[in-house]
Amino acid sequence: MQHTSAVKEQSEMPDAPPGHFVRHCFWKYPLIAGGLAILLIGIALVMGSPNSARDTIAGVSQSDPGGAILAFTQELDGTAASWENAESRGMGEPSQVFVLEPVSDYATLLGEGVEKAVNEYREADVAQRQAWAGAYEQALETITPQPTGGVDASGTTPSPDHTRVESLQGEFGPVPALVQADLVLAQRGYLEQYLVGRDPGHSLQLGTIWLYDHPAMLNTAIDNGLTDDQWGMVKERGFPVGPWYLIIPAIFHVKFPGGSVGTGFVLWNLFAALIFLFVVPLV
Distance CA 217, CA 89 (A): 20
Say what the pLDDT of residue 17 is: 56
Burial degree of 158 (CB within 10 A; 0-12, 13-18, 19+) = middle
Q: What letter represents residue 50's amino acid?
A: P
Say what the pLDDT of residue 271 is: 73
Say what the pLDDT of residue 283 is: 42
Say what the pLDDT of residue 105 is: 93
Q: What angle do CA 69, 72, 75 make, to 5 degrees?
A: 150
* Whether 97 contacts 275, CB under 8 Å: no
Q: What is the pTM of this model?
A: 0.68
The SS3 assignment for 166 reads: helix
pLDDT tens for the chain, 283 residues: list them. Answer: 455 554 455 555 555 555 666 566 667 777 887 888 788 777 766 666 555 667 889 999 999 999 999 999 999 999 998 898 777 666 788 999 999 999 999 998 898 899 999 999 999 999 999 999 999 999 999 999 876 654 456 678 899 999 999 999 999 999 999 999 999 999 999 999 999 887 766 655 888 889 889 998 888 777 766 665 555 555 556 665 555 555 555 555 556 666 666 667 777 777 777 777 666 555 4
Say what the pLDDT of residue 232 is: 52
In sequence order, the 6+-apart residues with CB closer than 8 A to the CB of 102 are: 182, 185, 190, 191, 194, 195
240 φ, ψ to 5°? -70, 140
Distance CA 118, CA 103 (A): 8
Residue extents of the structural domains in the chain = 57-145+158-213, 253-283
Say what the pLDDT of residue 138 is: 95
Say what the pLDDT of residue 14 is: 55
